Each structure stands twice: as C-alpha cells, then as structure tokens.
C-alpha cells in the first residue's frame, strides 16, 4: 500500500501539529508552575516588606530615645574639652618651669611611701 502525495502531506502535517500541541502543553505547564512560584515569592516579599517596616519603626523609635542622651554626651564632651583646655593653659603650662625641681622631691616621697608600706606588710 503506497501513500499518495496528499496522504503523505496530511500525515506530515498531523505529526507536526501533534508535536506543536505537545510542546505548547509542556510550555503552558511550565508557565503555570512559574506563575505559582512567582505568587509565592510575591507573598514572601510582602511579608518581608511588612517586617522591614516594623523594624524601621523600632529603629526610629530607638533613635528618638537616644537623641537626649546624645545631646547630654555632647555637652559633657564640650565641658571636658573646656576643662582640659583650662588645665593645660592655666595650670600645667605656667607650672612647667617648676617641674624639674618638684619631680625629684615627688619621686623621693613616693619611694618613702612604698618603703613604709613594704615594712608594714612585712611587720604584720
């Protein structure tokens, strides 16, 4: 049994249509799976955005609570800076010419105190 040209072409077209339909079915199944995963991903992203907003609110609240402490710290640092400036310009710098004379006496006194402590510990 030999096929005519029309029958052969009909057979080729039928096979091509079956292959195309099979390809489209697999493609649609894959698209459906991808769409489902995309929806799941979007719902996770929404949850993450909600959590991020909550975290942002908590951080902003903590920052607002820290503002007075930062201001107090700034005032303290400024006061310490002014005190250090006063100490160096008004006390240490003017008295620096007397340090070479005072240091040997201070060292001698310190040694005497250490000796006395050592004797007290050994004596007890």
pLDDT tens column, 53-91: 999 999 999 988 888 899 999 999 999 999 999 998 888
Angle, CA of 66, 71 and 76, to the nearest 5°: 120
Quote the pLDDT of residue 101: 84
Q: Which residue has the higher pLDDT, 105 or 48?
A: 48
DSSP state of 124: -
pLDDT tens column, 108-122: 999 999 988 888 877
Residue 39: both structure tokens together: 């929806």
Domain ranges of the chain: 5-123
DSSP per-residue codes, 58-108: HHHHHHHHHHHHHHHHHHHHHHHHHHHHHIIIIIIHHHTTTHHHHHHHHHH
pTM (predicted TM-score): 0.45
Residue 122: both structure tokens together: 């050994």
DSSP state of 89: I
Rounded to whole angstroms, how far apart are CA atoms 111 and 120? 14
Q: Which residue has the higher pLDDT, 47 or 124?
A: 47
Virtual torsion, Cα 66, 71, 72, 75, nearest 10 deg: 160
Quote the pLDDT of residue 124: 58
pLDDT tens column, 6-62: 999 999 999 999 999 999 999 999 999 999 999 999 999 999 999 999 999 999 999
């Amino acid at each position: 049994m030999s096929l005519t040209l029309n029958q052969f072409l009909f057979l080729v077209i039928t096979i091509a249509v079956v292959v195309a339909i099979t390809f489209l079915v697999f493609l649609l199944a894959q698209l459906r799976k991808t769409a489902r995963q995309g929806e799941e991903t979007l719902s996770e992203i929404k949850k993450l955005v909600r959590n991020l907003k909550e975290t942002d609110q908590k951080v902003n609240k903590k920052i607002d609570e820290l503002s007075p402490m930062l201001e107090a710290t700034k005032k303290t640092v400024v006061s310490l800076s002014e005190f250090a400036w006063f100490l160096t310009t008004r006390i240490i710098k003017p008295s620096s010419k007397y340090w070479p004379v005072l240091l040997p006496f201070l060292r001698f006194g310190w040694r005497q105190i250490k000796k006395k402590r050592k004797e007290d510990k050994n004596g007890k």
